[in-house]
Structure formats: C-alpha cells, structure tokens
Structure 1
Amino acid sequence: MNHTEHTHHRDSTHPVGPGPRTGALPGGASRRTVLAGAAAVGAGAVLPLAPGAGPARAATGGAAALRERWHTLLTGGPDLDQGDQRIAAAVERTGKAAVTAAKGLDPTRTDGLFPDLTGTTLSNQVTTAFKRLATAATGWAVPGTPQYGDTALRDLLLAGVDWMLANRYGPAHTRYDNDWDWEIGSALALNDASVLLYDALGADRLARITAAVRHYTPDPNLWRADRQIATGANRVWISTVVAVNAVLRDDGGDLVRVRDALSDVEGSGANSVLAFNDVSAAAEGTGEGFYSDGSFLQHYKHPYNGGYGKELLSSLSRLLHLLAGTDWAVTDPDLDNVRRWVDEGFDPLIARGDVMASVCGREIARPSKQGHVSAQTVVEAVVRLIPGFPGETADRFTALVKQWIAEDTYRDFLGVTDLASLVAAQQVMASAVPARGRLVAHQQYPRMDKAAHHRPSFALGVSACSTRIYNYESIQNENLHGWHLSDGMVLLYTDDLGHYSEDYWPTVDPARLPGTTVMAGRPADAAGQRTTSTADWAGGAGLPGTTLGAYGMELRAYGSTLTGLKSWFCLDDVIACTGSGITAGAGRAETVVENRKLRDAGAALLVDGVPAATGTGWSADLDEVRWVHLEGTGGYVFPVPATLRGLREERTAAWREINTKYGTDTPVTRPYLTLWQDHGEAPDGAGYFWLQAPAASAERTRLWSQAPPVELIAATTAVHAVRRVADGLLAANFWTAGTAQELTSDGPASVLVRPDGKTVTIALSDPTQLRASVTVTLAQRGLTVVSADSGVSTAPAPEGIRITADTSGRHGAALGLTLKRS
C-alpha cells in the first residue's frame, strides 16, 4: 500500500522532537512510562529464535541478538530441517526468487541498476530496486539455496547497494513522486538487505545506509516531506523502519521512541495504533485505524481491513517479534485489543482464504494481490502473534489458523508462505488444538458501512456507503473503475474459491456489479472516487449468536439523479433482496441480480426449469420469471414474477485498464453470466424483490418458488419488511416513521423481531447514526421483559409494548432485549 492523500496537521501542543537517548542496545534503555497501568502484554517470544549460522554472522550481544532475531524472521533461521519436504520446497522457492530478482542487476550501468528501472520520475522504481536486492540477499543468506554464501553474489549486491546510495537514495538526492516509497517501501527493503548482508557491509557502508534511511525516516511519529502525523498502517510501517535502523545502529533510544510511537505517547494517545479509534484519547485523532466493531479505516474514510489493516497487523506482529522480551517490549494494555482485531476485524471478513473485496480498497486492482494473497498476509501475522498471547487466546488463534489453512484449498498456504512463517505454521498445525470449524456468523460493521454473512455452504458480503464513508478509492492511477463498489455490491463466496481471483476485477463489467442499482453507462476513469453519499441511512441490526440480520442503505448515486432504497434481509440460507423508490430524472436504471464469472463457461442456467442456451453471446429478455438457478452458484426466487434480462459473454480486458501503475498489458478473457432488472428510462418509484439462495440446488430453488420461505410485508418509501414463514420472524428497515403489520417505528430504524416458543427476541438500531433514541411499538399483549441491554427500556402501550433504545453515541450498533409471553 502507499500514499496517504489527505493532510494531517500536527497539533502544536505536542511538539516534535527527539526522544530520550539512552545509549547502545547492550546496556538497555531506561524506560519512559508508556501509559499508566501498563501491563506486560506480548512480552513472550513471538517466534522461535536461534543464534548463529549463515555467512559469518555475529550472534552475541544486544544489537547482534536483535539483528539475529530479524534475520531469523527473514530467513527462517539457521536450523532449517532440509529433510522436510515443505521446507525444502520453500528453500527452493527462495533460491528461484533470488535468481529472478538478480536478473539484469548491473552496478556498472549509469542509467539504472536494472535495465527496466531507469526512470527518475516514478518512485516505485526505487522501491522495486531495493526489494530485488533484498530478495537476492535472502537467497544468499538461506542455507540450502544455490546462492547461499556465494561471494560473487555478495559482492554484486554490495555494489548494487552502493549504486543506489550514489544515484538514487539518500541525503544527496531529491525525492519525487510518492513519499511512501522513500520513507517506507525503499527503507524497509534496504533495512532487510542490510540485516542480511550485515557482516559484509563494513562500517563506512553501514553508516551511509543508516544515514540514508534516517534522512527520509527519522521519527516514528511523523512522515512525508512536510512531517505530518503518521497514522494507522503508515505509523507502524514508519516505526518498523526506525526500529530496524536503530538495531543496525545499536541505538536503544530510538527503540524507546518506536515503542512509544505505537501508543502515540507524544500525542497523548490520539493516534495510537493499538487503541480503538472510538475509545478514549484515540477518538480525538484522525480516525484512521481499528474501531471496536472491527472496522478499519485508512485514508480518512476508506474501509481497508484487507489492505492497510492487514499490513498494520503484519508489520505490528513483526515489531512485537523484534521487541518481545527486551527492555523495549510493548507494554501498553491496549495491545490486548489485537485479540479483537483478529476475531472481529479479520475472521468475519475472510471467506475460505479470500478477504472480502469490499474492504480491500484499491488493492483489488493489483494483479499481485489476487489469488488469496491478502489472506496469506493475515494468516502469517496471526501465526507470529500466537506465542505473545498465551493461554486461551493462543489456543483460539491456533484453532483459527488451522481452519484458515485447511479450508483454503485454492491457495496452499504452506506451499507459498515465507520460511519463518512456514516453520511457525507447521508447529501450529502440529498442535493438539483442533481446527475451529467453518465460521457461521452474521456481522455488521456500522463504522464502515459493510456487512458479512457466513453460512456453512457460502459467505456473502454487502458493501454500502453513506455520509460517513467514501464510496471507493482510486489514487495513484489505481482502481480506475471502482465506481459502484459501494452502491449495494453483493459479493457471494461459494466453493468456487477462485471466483474473485484469476482476473475477475479487470474483466467483470464494472457498471454491473452484483447487487447494485446503477445508471446504465460507464463513467470516466476514477469518477467520483473518495466521495461520500449525501444519505445517512446505511446499516442494520443483527441478532447476536444467530445468522439473522437486516441490512440496508439509502442510495443516492454519484454523478446522476438516481436515488433508491435497498435492503438485504439475511435470514440464514436465504437473503431477501428488496428495493423501492428507485427514481432518476433521466437515463436508464438497472438493478443487477447476479454477475458471475463462470468456473465452467457452460454452466447450466435454468429459468423456471427450462434450460437457457449455454453458448457465448446468448442474451434474452426473460418475462414473468418465478425462479432462476445457475449451476455452481445457487438459486433466485421471484415471489412476484419479474422481467429479467440475461447475458452470457466472454469479456476481455487488461489489468492496465484499471491500474496504469501496477497493471499489465496482456489481455485476459473470462466467461460471465449476468442477470439484471431493467427499470427503464427515468424510472419513478421502481422496485424489486427476490430471494437469493446461495449454493441451493435447482430442486430446492424450484420448491421455494412454489412456497417462498420469506414473504414480503412492505416495500414502500417508508419501510421494507419481510416475514419468515417457518417461525414468523419479522425483519424491517424503517426509512421514516411507519408501520409493518404489528411493528411500528417512530423514525428511521432497523429492527428484527424473532418469536421462539414463549420468548420474543428483538434487536434494533439507528442506521442513520443521528438519532438520540429509537422507539418501536410491538402490537402484542402479555409481554414482559426477561433481559435487556443497557439503554433499552419498555413501557405498556394500548396495543402492546413500547420499546425505547438510547442510540446516542452507539454509532449504528444494535441493542437488544428478550421478552416473555405471560
């Protein structure tokens, strides 16, 4: 990740300046108190550490011990079991990567260290050059590779470092393009290469290296040429740069500053990366980082768990590994929040090895980030964290890692991860702790307008936006066609684990993303990026411990007059999709039922039981449709017969079309099937209603079309409501005050009412996040309170019971209560 495009101004009450210098590492640093009541969380070793070995490496003394620790993190350590097939394969991968990285390396050139990196306007070329040096140095440092200890390669790499310092990087050179490359990307890679080559560097070269890095990255609290406050993942990256540089220089004082920067001691905690942004002093910061509901925001209002969030987790786990058990170990009690990051901020957003694209920002437009690569980063980070959270958390994380690795049959984690992670992961897999099992849960993220729904046979994510959250990010010429990523996009994850890999994002029709309601046509590249909606209503409510949830958004499209109301009632294996009030002053509006990249180009499509043509180029107007089934995907039931349009096509595109920075020019072709409802030109009050049954068989879909398991109660501009036939559950999204049969709301609200024998469980929220309270009336007599969340009160009403929830300061989170029939 790179580039923070908005500006942070440092509070003048927190002056910038060097932290206390306490001398060299071997003597230890006198600790400045981080926060009152600090507890020694994470003080245990994070990965097994081994001294010695490698090409002439020192392994004794304070600085040497920490270098050894980082070296082990980069190489897996000196005691790799070369007889282990997995490890032998990883060593072979390391050697092959080193060969590729060193290809073309020529320090005698004058225009560039590598023939394809001769430009002086794109800063990522500087980072790429250093990354290649570090990759080749890894091959040189890992026992068993063809390059291990090779003096010719060593000398070539040293000359390469000298060339970069003389021609591209350091105090004598003017930075250009992207600050991230100078202060983070290049610095991280040069630090790694320096640790790997440490004993061959010599004092003069080491001094030049560390001075160059410090020139760009001197302070773990600040970054960019104008010295802005570093936040979120950027702060952890910067801290990592400073920490490894400090180890190379034997400077314990800078390690104190790194430890304190994670908690933002200088800023009184306002930009702590460990604290939740909606808690205590962190609520006064920029808002970037994790929230207590599991949301992660970066670049101010972009959901980014699968981008910057995963990088923060990864980098932090490395820093904790480096500092564990030392005088600089992180002792901030907020470090305990990392447990919840994993449980709530990552686990529900990973679907069998794929991180939900709705929280990956512009990374979805990078070919290098497809194929479950983002989830690999998360798994590696959690593996590193396990020893630092002993006891119940370690067992839970162990069970989770085992599940993640086992269920991702698309990408073999043990066959692609780095050596250190492989060694640690094999220890985890050998544990007696059983795998957790498939996640079955419904989780909403009101802080970032997203929802995740997990059932045994599928997972589903809903992406919205509001006045609080940006629609999508397209900076640095990336993610140029992300126009509708938050216009109600529904991403379905089934046993086709590679669906959103294998070139999905460049080839999918970006104007017809599944679930969205859009105006027909293609906006300009990056049109409307970093834009909030003018609507406040986005969110919903879920019943804890179940997979029952109501979710919705008021759509006010960017760049047109299109408006509408959209709901998704997630009722276990059925999602009731409802829309109303779809209106536009001009242009043709569409709601996309499905847009699927087909694993099998000839996958059967049944329309009311009749097979549709399977050939490429098929298109049709489908009238009075009651049910549709797509082989390998699932079923769609239309209780009110609907007119659909269908299209099979082979779509060809190049990654460069959506990412001119990191994309490739090679055309790729993939088969798609698209189904949508055409609301016509300038619609006025159009709507839709269908039941989505992911992974359902054709027979199950047919039977549900004859007896729909969910009934539509209301689909007006005041309320959407559905009822489940089997148990009478009522789910409603109130856009304004209104009534849905026995349920009445005094204003905007999302409500679920679930009868179960003699009890009734209710969950409700304010998705606008603006109301001080929500009051609903349930027209059922003889109900008394069994339990209620704090802030929920009841009172008798002529028709039944009145329930009032204090929603001030809840930021869209649901409140609940349980009633009993007398």
Structure 2
Amino acid sequence: MESAVPHLSRRQILSLLPATALLAMAAPMRAAAAAPADHARLLANTVATFAGTAEVNARPEVAGKLAAMLDTARQRLAAMDQAGDGELFAGLTLGTDDAKLRSAYQYLYEIALATRAPGGELDGDAAVQRRVVDGLQWLHEHHFGDQSKGYYGNWHSWEIGIPTHVSRTLVLLDERIRELRPDLTATYIASMDAYLRNGKDGDVDLDSRFHTGANLADITGNRILQGALTADDARVSKAISDQATVFATIDPYDLQHGVTDGYYHDGSFIQHHSVAYTGSYGRALLTRVVQTLKTLEGATGGGGSDLAGVVYRWIADGFAPLIFEGWMMEIVKGRAVSRTNTGYSDVRVITEAIADLAGHVEGDGSQALKQYVKFLPEADTGTFVSPVSIARYAAIRADSAIPAADLNPPERSVAFNSMDRTVHRRPGYAFALARSSDRISKYEYMNGENLMPWFQGDGAYYLYLSGEDQREVFGVDYYTAVSPYRLAGITAPEEERRTVPESYGRFWYENPDHPLNFTSSSESQNTYVYFPLAGNAFSGGATLGAYGVAGMVQSDDAAYTAKQQGILPDDFVVYRNARATKSWFMFDDEIVVLAADVSGQGRRAAVTTVDSRIAAPGDTIVLTGEGWRGGSWRAGDTSPPRWLRYANDTRRTAIGYAFLTRQPVAAGLETVTRSRRVVRASNPDTSVTKNVFTASIAHPAAGGVPAVAYALVPNATEARLRGYADGPLTVLANDRHVQAIRHRALGIVAANVFAGGPRHAERLLVDGPASVIVRSGERTVVALSDPTMKRDHVTVVLRGRPLRLDTADEGVTVRRVPGGTQVRATTRRAHGRTFTATLR
C-alpha cells in the first residue's frame, strides 16, 4: 500500500514547525515568542503514558500489566531490603560497572511506577515513594554527582540510559520530591547536563555524531521532561525543535549537520552512519517519537497530525515490507541479530507504537494502521510499555468494523538501495537480501555482540516460508548453529578468523597512542572494527512492479584496504575477502542467483553457500534430488545435481534448488550443538542443538567453477523442480561484465551490467554500470537504475522495431536510434532510485 503522505526534507520540517500546533514553539529562533507549554499537562501525559489512568487501568485487558508492575516493584523493594554495605539493591555492586548503575536507576523507576499506577496496591504509597526519593539522593551522592568519577564504561549509559530512568522517575514522583527534597530535581538535571559530554554546553549538539537518529530522540525526549519539571520553556522548546529534525527524510545530497542517520526516500533507515537498522534503532526511534506525540498532546495546543503523517510513512514504506507474519527480518538488525529476543518480540514493540499512532494520524491513514494492527498476529500485551497502549490495542482488535488488512500488497518487491537491502514478497514466502558497499557497512559488531559477523553483508539471504515458527529457522539460533562461513548466499574464503575479543583480549582494539587514537568509542574504532564499509560502489538494483533485480560486486572491507596502505597499526588484525560478482533476479516462483568471477584470492579456495537451514533434532528432514543425466541424487554424491529439494516434513515446508549450471554440490545434514555465547558474550550460556542443512559449491584455489547459476524455489514440489529442465529460465550472460536472465513465461529480460560502456544482453544494449528490467507484452515496460549512485545518466537501447513512448517517470526520455529505441534516465542525485518507461 502506497502512502499519500509526502516525504519532507529537513528544511521543510523546519518550515512546518511554526505552523504546526504541536510544535508551535519548536524552532529555536522563535522560542522566545512561542506560547509557553502547559507543563502540568505535559507531566500528566507522561504519567498517564507509563502508569496509566484510572479509566484505563480499570479495563480487564490491563490487569495483567498492573499485576506485573506490582510484582516487579515488590521484587525491587525486597532487593533493597537485602542490600549489603555499599549497595542500594542486593547484588548490584556499584562504582565500576555502568550497567549495574543503570540497573539501579531502572529499579528505582520500576518502584516509582507502581506507586503512580491508579488502581494498583502501591498507588500513592508515601512510604515507598520516600524510599525511592532517598535512593535517588543516595545514588547521586555516592555514584552520580561527582563527574570526575563517573562516565566509565559505555557513553550511552551516562547520556541516555541513566537519564531516561532518572527523568521519568522525577516526573512520576514530582510532588513527593518537592515535599521531601525540593532541590533534588534541579541537582539531577545539572548533573545530567554535565554528563552530556558528546553534546555542547550541556545540551544537544546536532553536529555531534552521537546525537543522531534514535539516540537524538532519546536525549531530547528526556530533556522535554526535564524542562517541564522546572518550567523551563527554553529547554522544552529547544528539545522539541531538536527532536523534530529526526522526522526529516534524509537527502544524501544535502545533508544537514552531516547526518546520514534516519529515514530515506525509499524507506531505508540508517543508524551509526552506515548500518541498516530499521529492526533495532529504527524501532527504538519509532517508539520514542510516538511517545513524544503522546506526551505533548494538548500540552502545546495541537495534535501533531503533520508529523504523525510522516511517521505513518515510516510504517507503510519502511517497517511493513520487513515484517513477515509478525517477524522482523534479520537483514536490518545489525548486531542485535545475536540477541536472544526474537523477531516476534521486535514486532510487538512496533505494534504498540502503531496502535498509539493510529490515534494521531488523520483520515485513511488511521484506518489503515488499525487494519494493520488486526492483520499482525495477536501480540502479548504484557510486553507493552504503556497501559494506555494496551487499552487502545484491545479496542482496535475488538472492533468488528475494522477488517484486518496488510499494509503490503500480496506481491511486492522493494529495493531499499539507500541501505543496501532488498525484500521480495509473495504469498507463501518472503526473500530478504543483505548487501554492502562503500556507502553501507559489511556488518556490525560492538561490545561483544555479533562476534562472528564477517559475511553478513556479502549477499547473505533469508528465505522465510509461510506458516513457520521463525524462531525455529532463524533468529539467534540460526547464527549459533550455522557456521559464519556458511551463511545462506555468501561466498567466503576457506580460512578461520578470530573474533575481536580473541584477537585483542577485550571487546575493542585499544591503541590511544596511534595517530588514529583507537579507543572504545573513537571514530577509528567505528570505521575499522565496529562497522567497516565495503570497498565496492556497485550495490543496488531496480524494481518493475512486483519484480526485482539486485547486484553487487564483492570486495574487501575498509580495514583490510587501510592495512595494505599502511594506515593501521602492525598488530591490527585484518582479513582479505573472497571476490565475486553477484546478481539476484526475483520473480514469482523463484529467485535466480548468479555468481561469476569467483576467487578465494591469495591462493585460497572459496565456497558459495546455496543455502543453510536449521531444524529441531526431532524434525523429519528429507533430502531428494536428481542428476543432470537423470537418476536420483543423494547426499554425498559427487555428480552435479540438476535439482535438490530440502523438505521438513514435520513442519510441512520445502525449498527447491534448481541448478542452471553443472557443478558438484555438497549437500547434507549435520547435528550441531553450540552455546549461544559463541555469537554474543553476554548471552546466557544456553546450549542449542540443531540439525543444520547446508548446500554449497566449492571454488578450488587452482581455478575452476568461476561462475554458477541456480534458482531458489520456495515451497517446491519435485514435479515443479523437474520442470526447470525445460523451464522458463535462460541464463543470457554470467561473467564479471554482465549477468542477465530471461524468464520466458513472464516475458522478462533482466540484467546487471557491471562494466562501463555498451554491453549486450540479448536484445538489450546497456550503457553500464546499470540495472535493467524489461517486460514485453501488449506494452513494453523498462525499468532502469544506477547501482553505483555515481552516474548522471543510465541508457538502454531496445533493439528491433521502433517503439513509441506511452508514459514515463520524470527524468526519462525516449527516442528512436538506428536499430531500435533508446530509453535514457537521468540518475544524477537519484540515490539508486528506479526509473520506468512504458512503450508501445
């Protein structure tokens, strides 16, 4: 479903602020003249958001949440009772561990929350509230007030994590604090300002690399509350203005404050400057801005429907394509893929935000969000943050006048080229692809999370099948059980790599004496350790209706390249990558994969993994296949298979692999047992046992098998796989210059042209680099894009009888040339966008 809400540039956002009632006081230059906020209403909204109201809390659907609040508070109070010397809570030894200090503040917040929940047993309990206030005072005196002793560990704890719990606790207990310790709020705000070390003069700095995206929304959300507590209109106004910048669609050709973090025109979301992150930081940003809309409702004189409409676009174009049957796809979670929370729990957070947002969006958008809430699997509302959200969600689900409806059409192909991701959806399956480039990181590792990420951006793909419990086939257990060198879709060199802790004895590389000043949160650490860019420019693709093509040239990462240039220290560990030119062609019943110019580099062999899938040890797995000359193919067979089929009979799912080139394929099952700690140091030491299916193609160091082609066939039967012997797919080209496929039944020719200059693909003459899809029928439709994002124009000539222009996107011209028809798209500053023309 396409949104009718326009994208807004950062400049347009700023121009909206004075006219939008919600943000009437937002623009800094108008702060003095802006009408003051209703601070009491703002604080009351915040209390209602997190603690509920008498009306909401009386609803039966909210009873479980209230019980959980009470139970948590009682546990925290018991821990206070059992605390030893130097502790506020038993088991939390403070003074050197920022995570424990953050937990102490979280525990105080959880107790305070229960004392403000109407209808709860601790509601208004003055004695308990006094204990919280005393705890705040004690923590400040002993562990937070002295900035010379604080700020150890992770910067996030001091600038975001702790201030979030403190600010909300101060709001919840505002009256009690004024009664008992009237200076405490101002004292804490002064300290929180002092800890904002990545800001400027104790405030947000929009030029800081730390104050972007979800981080910026968190910091400014806290500062709005702090301003309301102290009736500081200037603080509230500036915080709203700063947070408003996250609503702007990022224009990569007109960056504001150098910020690349945020939402892009194609629905992509980036955090940490180059990491595809919709499913983690994007989710957090969504939650925070929706909470801000709820907090400010009625407190600044308006409802904020303009900005709510922008957030609706995030949902429709950014989140919905990435959610499959209630599961958030792995390709947009960064290091969070190694955490034990699941794609289902990710979506529950998003569902809560959508239910709330539906009350702020006007017109058809509100109805569409409500329908989507009903379409998504029923959520466990016990995980929702707000009792109000639970009530709203329950009302939507119970409303028979709201039909369930997906925000996605049944067939959809989405090129998230701004973050090097591709999603292809059909009834029965979804295909998700992770790419990388000199714009987007190969992977993200940080703080002992995602310990073996090396190939996650090298064309790793995930094929989700309908009806599956995705926890059994993907999530943390997929990365735990499957070798990092055998992720589905990747081409990796034959070698063993060491994790960052294994290489350096800590979670990062430390060398402050080097000119690049390697510290835990330095820019050099980000660039070369945490999320290094790739070296290739070609990574992108085109879509034509619900069909798509993507391509990528596999390269080394920035660290390896810098080490060869003598930029990095001698003891800095780097690894050389394999080489490959790859394309993915996405149709209705199959996804065709081409790999050419494959080499392990440095006299190493390489392996291309066709697929890796996990299953429970008790599941019945059946592997079947057929050779090129007929006859059955069995695991261990060294002859090239024409097709293979992996079937989980227990789960009633199957995937077929139709090989379009002849080469040996190693395929079989292996029982693997590993601890979840192999992928994340802080995971529980839980042992996971899975049956792992792997099908792979070897590329010997001595040469041979430089190019392969195969089709992934979701939900395939053996009969359908046999049909590919005379089926619709023809490989037209597969080398380092051109990769092209013809799908006879669909009338589609699609190509990636990697080299410059005119290149042939059947009846097409393409001026590369480019991605092209042409579909012939009553009309001929052409789709073009520039996957390098560096070209001014992309051109294709359709050879044959001349065709006339019917319709075309702006920037597309069509003219007759000798021997055919030329279609030319102006791709300058298009950032990988697809241009289409219809001819007759």
Please, what TM-score do these two structures have when normalized by structure 1?
A: 0.85
Structure 2: distance between partners of 1:212 and 1:814:
51
1:93 aligns with 2:80: no
Residue number in structure 1 paired with 2:30 = none
Measured after TM superposition, the shift of residue 113 of structure 1 is 2.2
Residue number in structure 1 paired with 2:564 = none
Residue number in structure 2 paired with 1:125 = 100
Measured after TM superposition, the shift of residue 121 of structure 1 is 2.9
Residue number in structure 2 paired with 1:550 = 549
Structure 1: distance between partners of 2:75 and 2:728:
56
Residue number in structure 2 paired with 1:585 = 602
State the SS of the aligned residue for 1:620: coil
Counterpart residue type for residue 243 of structure 2: L
Structure 1: distance between partners of 2:79 and 2:810:
65
% same residue:
27
Structure 1: distance between partners of 2:39 and 2:790:
53
Residue number in structure 1 paired with 2:631 = none
Residue number in structure 1 paired with 2:339 = 366
Measured after TM superposition, the shift of residue 622 of structure 1 is 4.7
Residue number in structure 2 paired with 1:212 = 188
Structure 2: distance between partners of 1:218 and 1:704:
69
**Which residue among 564, 571, 581 is the counterpart of 1:565?**
581
Task: Tell which deviates more after alignment, 583-592 or 145-154.
Answer: 145-154
Q: 1:97 to 1:788 in 2, by over 3 A?
A: same
Measured after TM superposition, the shift of residue 710 of structure 1 is 2.0
Task: Tell which deviates more after alignment, 349-358 or 214-223.
Answer: 214-223
1:111 aligns with 2:80: no
Measured after TM superposition, the shift of residue 314 of structure 1 is 0.8
Q: 1:328 to 1:505 in 2, by over 3 A?
A: farther
1:429 aligns with 2:410: no
Measured after TM superposition, the shift of residue 679 of structure 1 is 1.3
Measured after TM superposition, the shift of residue 143 of structure 1 is 4.5
1:714 aligns with 2:727: no
**Which residue among 748, 765, 770 is the counterpart of 1:744?**
765
Residue number in structure 1 paired with 2:227 = 246
State the SS of the aligned residue for 2:152: coil
- 8 Å CA contact retained: 1:34, 1:331: no
Structure 2: distance between partners of 1:415 and 1:694:
35
Structure 2: distance between partners of 1:390 and 1:490:
37
Deviations 1:634-690 (A, max 9, x none): 211113344211242333333333223x32233333332111111122546712111
Counterpart residue type for residue 479 of structure 2: W
Counterpart residue type for residue 384 of structure 2: T
Structure 2: distance between partners of 1:220 and 1:394:
37
Residue number in structure 2 paired with 1:388 = 360
Task: Tell which deviates more after alignment, 414-423 or 394-403.
Answer: 414-423
Residue number in structure 1 paired with 2:462 = 491
Residue number in structure 2 paired with 1:191 = 167
Residue number in structure 2 paired with 1:71 = 47
Deviations 1:223-270 (A, max 9, x none): 38997532111111111111112222233332111221124xxxxxxx
Q: 1:665 to 1:818 in 2, by over 3 A?
A: same
**Which residue among 297, 302, 305 is the counterpart of 1:324?**
297
Structure 2: distance between partners of 1:217 and 1:628:
61
State the SS of the aligned residue for 1:322: helix
Structure 1: distance between partners of 2:723 and 2:200:
58
- 8 Å CA contact retained: 2:170, 2:177: yes
Matches within 5 A, 1:458-497: 458-494=429-465, 495-496=467-468, 497=470
Task: Let me know the Cα RMSD of the aligned residues.
Answer: 2.9
- 8 Å CA contact retained: 2:305, 2:360: no
- 8 Å CA contact retained: 2:617, 2:689: no
Structure 1: distance between partners of 2:156 and 2:388:
26
Deviations 1:546-601 (A, max 9, x none): 32000110011442252111111011231001111102232221111111121564
- 8 Å CA contact retained: 1:107, 1:156: no
Counterpart residue type for residue 389 of structure 2: S
Structure 1: distance between partners of 2:660 and 2:776:
24
Structure 2: distance between partners of 1:500 and 1:135:
33
Residue number in structure 2 paired with 1:347 = 320
Q: 1:330 to 1:222 in 2, by over 3 A?
A: farther
Q: 1:94 to 1:335 in 2, by over 3 A?
A: closer
State the SS of the aligned residue for 2:531: coil
Deviations 1:145-204 (A, max 9, x none): 554555554444333323322222235652212221112111111222233333333445
**Which residue among 649, 659, 663 is the counterpart of 1:638?**
659
Counterpart residue type for residue 536 of structure 1: A
Structure 2: distance between partners of 1:416 and 1:422:
10
Matches within 5 A, 1:254-653: 254-263=235-244, 272-278=245-251, 282-283=255-256, 285-327=258-300, 336-367=309-340, 369-406=341-378, 412-418=379-385, 419-431=387-399, 432-437=401-406, 439=409, 440-494=411-465, 495-496=467-468, 497-498=470-471, 499-501=473-475, 503-526=477-500, 529-543=530-544, 546-558=545-557, 559-560=575-576, 562-583=578-599, 584-599=601-616, 601-608=618-625, 620-631=636-647, 632-653=653-674
Paired residue total: 745
Q: 5+ unaligned residues in a row in structure 2: which ranges?
A: 1-12, 25-36, 501-527, 558-574, 628-633, 648-652
Deviations 1:339-369 (A, max 9, x none): 32111111111122222222111112222x3
Q: 1:443 to 1:433 in 2, by over 3 A?
A: same
Q: 1:290 to 1:518 in 2, by over 3 A?
A: same
Matches within 5 A, 1:170-185: 170-171=145-146, 173-185=149-161
State the SS of the aligned residue for 2:413: strand
Counterpart residue type for residue 20 of structure 2: A
Residue number in structure 2 paired with 1:134 = 109
Task: Tell which deviates more after alignment, 803-812 or 526-535.
Answer: 526-535
Q: 1:398 to 1:780 in 2, by over 3 A?
A: farther
Task: Tell which deviates more after alignment, 492-501 or 222-231.
Answer: 222-231
State the SS of the aligned residue for 1:421: helix
Measured after TM superposition, the shift of residue 304 of structure 1 is 1.2
Structure 1: distance between partners of 2:773 and 2:673:
44
- 8 Å CA contact retained: 1:235, 1:262: yes
Measured after TM superposition, the shift of residue 505 of structure 1 is 3.0
State the SS of the aligned residue for 1:134: helix
Measured after TM superposition, the shift of residue 321 of structure 1 is 1.0
Task: Tell which deviates more after alignment, 247-256 or 180-189.
Answer: 247-256
Residue number in structure 2 paired with 1:732 = 751
Q: 1:157 to 1:679 in 2, by over 3 A?
A: same
- 8 Å CA contact retained: 1:471, 1:529: no
Measured after TM superposition, the shift of residue 782 of structure 1 is 3.6
State the SS of the aligned residue for 1:79: helix
Counterpart residue type for residue 556 of structure 1: S
Residue number in structure 1 paired with 2:522 = none
Structure 2: distance between partners of 1:522 and 1:111:
46
Measured after TM superposition, the shift of residue 415 of structure 1 is 4.9
Q: 1:91 to 1:747 in 2, by over 3 A?
A: same
Please, what TM-score do these two structures have when normalized by structure 2?
A: 0.83
State the SS of the aligned residue for 2:42: helix
- 8 Å CA contact retained: 2:45, 2:296: no
Structure 1: distance between partners of 2:115 and 2:638:
62
- 8 Å CA contact retained: 2:657, 2:711: yes
Counterpart residue type for residue 640 of structure 2: E
Structure 1: distance between partners of 2:818 and 2:356:
59
Q: 1:469 to 1:118 in 2, by over 3 A?
A: same
